[in-house]
Amino acid sequence: MPLVCVGLSHHTAPLDVRSSHAFPAARMGEALTALRDYEAVREAVMLSTCGRLEIYAELEDYEAGVAQIKMFLQNFRHGDVSDLESYLYTLLGRQAIQHLFRVSTGLDSMLIGEAEILGQVKEAYIQAQKAQSLGKTLHKLFREALNAGKAARSQTGIGNDSVSIASAAIDMAKQHVPDLSDASVVVIGAGKMGRTAAKRLRAEGAQHIYVTNRTIRRAQDVIAEIGHGHVVEMPGLSGAIASADLVVTSTGASHFILTPENIGEAMLERPGRPLVIIDIAVPRDADPAIAEIPGVRLIDIDGLKGVVDSTLQARREAIPHVEEIIDEYIERFGHWYQSRTAVPVIASLTQKAELIRKREMERLFARCPELSERERMLITGSSLTIISRLLHNVVTKIRDKAVSNHAEAISHARILDELFDLQISDQVPAATISDLLDAEE
């Protein structure tokens, strides 16, 4: 049952492709439920962020499972997916495991060590739990990925010097609007990135901050948190943009919020006055065509990476240490995965022993009704001790063999199956788990 990761990211796909294939958070449960129904997909988790769309899955069959995941990506979007295949990568076994740990620790992020990614991995795990697309393997894998991410942030400098997409947006804004204290700034979206952008703008001295959001209450919460600014209702957005020097937008909308029509109208009201728009949403909030409007400077999320490169040296120095942590977690997960071979035989053996013990106790107590309650308890306790001591070495050795010598463990499991008539042959895999961990794409 191979583990795979099928996806695309900022390494393989430009922003417009990532935007067109992004899964809105509101549809994640629906998507996971649909994915769960594919025959070769045993369990699955979907990670969708501004930099990536990845599906982690345990499959019944590698080729059939990967084909079904790709079919799902094409069918669920109900749009043009002709470009999808050329941007996808497929990681198998150890590659998929290592990749998830690199993602959760921030090594694979657009901004090395970004703070948001660990929360996004956790949210993907929670969504899979809710959709019941999570099984034992991915439950364990994602718990270990979250632990690896926490360890990396607490034991290394990978999270030093707080840098995020939102704060990078403000750094970029300062290059084009040098005096934020005198500028009129509109923040569209009151989610995590919008909130972070508003707080950073206020910290940089911005005095005229306007926040708008589909839900006004959330915009009010942002203003209350930063202690300064004004709430703008969505119908009044065009008017606010007409007087703005800077717009930072980050919503979860599936359509363009800023279009050539509404930005064009706003620019007619401010001839000769430039407007800087920084779009940090995926899918995009701003139609790329507005960059052609005279006086408009449009910067998207891919344009921000260079802004923070000079501030990330300390994080880069932490990479070798983080990679050591990742190796430790891969080994730990590998041991757990390999030990699963022992589970069916151990469970069947102990269950059969307990069934025999229980029947013999019932027969003994039926023949000896004169036994007191205390005598019955002592006899039952002794029978439990005998079974435990008899099976202890067998259970310990087969569990250890599952980790150290998988092929020999399978051989032992089959011998026990035959000797004790455990009837678990179909549950003992023919392939080794090391094949899964060491497999290449």
Averaged pLDDT for residues 156-179: 81
- Residue 316, domain member (yes or no): no
Low-confidence winner among 75-89, 215-229, 362-376 (lowest mean pLDDT): 75-89
pLDDT of 431 higher than 60: no
Residue 236 CA to residue 218 CA, distance in Å, equals 16
Given 87, 122, 155, which residue is the final one in a domain? 155
pLDDT of residue 426: 47
50 catalytic residue (yes or no) = yes
Are 179 and 151 part of one and the same domain?
no
pLDDT of residue 430: 37
Are 48 and 109 part of one and the same domain?
yes
Are 278 and 229 part of one and the same domain?
yes
* Burial bucket for residue 169 (CB in 10 Å: 0-12, 13-18, 19+): buried
Q: Are 222 and 239 in contact (CB under 8 A)?
A: no
Are 90 and 203 part of one and the same domain?
no
pLDDT of 388 higher than 90: no
Low-confidence winner among 6-20, 152-166, 264-278, 364-378 (lowest mean pLDDT): 152-166
Q: What angle do CA 17, 23, 28 make, to 5 degrees?
A: 165
| List of residues 6+ apart from 414 with CB closer than 8 A | 425, 428
What percent helix, strand, coil does the chain show, rounded to 5?
A: 60, 10, 25
For residue 216, give Cα distances in angstroms to 196, 219, 236, 257, 325: 17, 5, 12, 16, 43
* Nearest one of 122, 160, 188, 176 to 298, comparing CA atoms: 176
Which entry of 31, 50, 277, 318 is annotated as an active-site residue?
50
Rounded (10°) angle between helices 342-367 and 406-420:
30
- Residue 76, domain member (yes or no): yes
* Nearest one of 96, 71, 74, 95 to 83, comparing CA atoms: 74
Which of the listed ranges 159-173, 268-282, 389-403 does the model predict with the highest average pLDDT? 268-282
Given 96, 124, 155, which residue is the final one in a domain? 155
Q: Are 195 and 219 in contact (CB under 8 A)?
A: no
pLDDT tens column, 8-50: 999 998 888 888 788 877 788 889 999 988 999 999 999 998 8
Are 295 and 385 part of one and the same domain?
no
Are 22 and 81 part of one and the same domain?
yes
- Residue 402, domain member (yes or no): yes
| List of residues 6+ apart from 348 with CB closer than 8 A | 417, 420, 422, 423, 424
Domain containing 121 — which CATH number?
A: 3.30.460.30
- Residue 330, domain member (yes or no): no
Our count of domains for the chain comes to 3
Are 386 and 245 part of one and the same domain?
no
Averaged pLDDT for residues 153-180: 82
Averaged pLDDT for residues 414-423: 73
For residue 183, give Cα distances in angstroms to 188, 193, 210, 254, 291: 16, 20, 11, 29, 21
- Residue 313, domain member (yes or no): no
Are 145 and 206 part of one and the same domain?
no
275-279: strand order across its sheet: 230-231, 208-212, 184-188, 246-249, 275-279, 296-300
Are 216 and 111 part of one and the same domain?
no
* Burial bucket for residue 115 (CB in 10 Å: 0-12, 13-18, 19+): middle
pTM assigned to the model:
0.65
Domain containing 196 — which CATH number?
A: 3.40.50.720
pLDDT of 429 higher than 60: no
DSSP 144-194: HHHHHHHHHHHHSSTT-S---HHHHHHHHHHHH-S-GGGSEEEEE--SHHH
pLDDT of 78 higher than 80: no
Are 150 and 169 part of one and the same domain?
no
* Cross-strand pairs, 57: 4, 44
DSSP 255-289: S-SB-HHHHHHHHHTSTT--EEEEE--SS-SB-GG
- Tell the residue number behind the tokens 């041991």, with chain if given: 335
Residue 144 CA to residue 149 CA, distance in Å, equals 9
Q: Are 194 and 211 in contact (CB under 8 A)?
A: yes
* Burial bucket for residue 3 (CB in 10 Å: 0-12, 13-18, 19+): buried
pLDDT of residue 407: 62
Rounded (10°) angle between helices 373-404 and 313-339:
120
- Residue 378, domain member (yes or no): yes
Residue 113 binned pLDDT confidence (cut-offs 50, 70, 90): confident
- Cα of first residue to Cα of last residue in the chain, in angstroms, is 15
pLDDT of 439 higher than 80: no
Q: What pairing do the DSSP bridges indicate for beta strands 3-9 and 52-59?
A: antiparallel
Are 178 and 273 part of one and the same domain?
yes
pLDDT of 395 higher than 90: no
pLDDT of residue 210: 94
Are 149 and 268 part of one and the same domain?
no
Q: How many CB atoms within 10 Å of residue 414?
A: 15
Low-confidence winner among 110-119, 195-204, 229-238, 308-317 (lowest mean pLDDT): 308-317
Given 256, 278, 305, which residue is the final one in a domain? 305
| List of residues 6+ apart from 286 with CB closer than 8 A | 249, 256, 257, 258, 277, 279, 298, 300
Continuous segment of H or E residues that includes residue 298: strand 296-300
Range of the domain at 100: 3-155
Cα dihedral 200, 201, 202, 204 sign:
positive
Six-digit token string for 157: 């400098």
Q: What angle do CA 441, 341, 57 make, to 5 degrees?
A: 40
41-48: strand order across its sheet: 41-48, 52-59, 3-9, 89-92
Q: E strands within 18-99?
A: 41-48, 52-59, 89-92
- Residue 319, domain member (yes or no): no
- Residue 312, domain member (yes or no): no
pLDDT of residue 437: 43
Averaged pLDDT for residues 375-399: 84
pLDDT of residue 307: 64
pLDDT tens column, 251-295: 988 889 999 999 999 999 888 899 999 998 888 899 999 999 999
Phi, psi of 68 (to 5 degrees): -70, -35
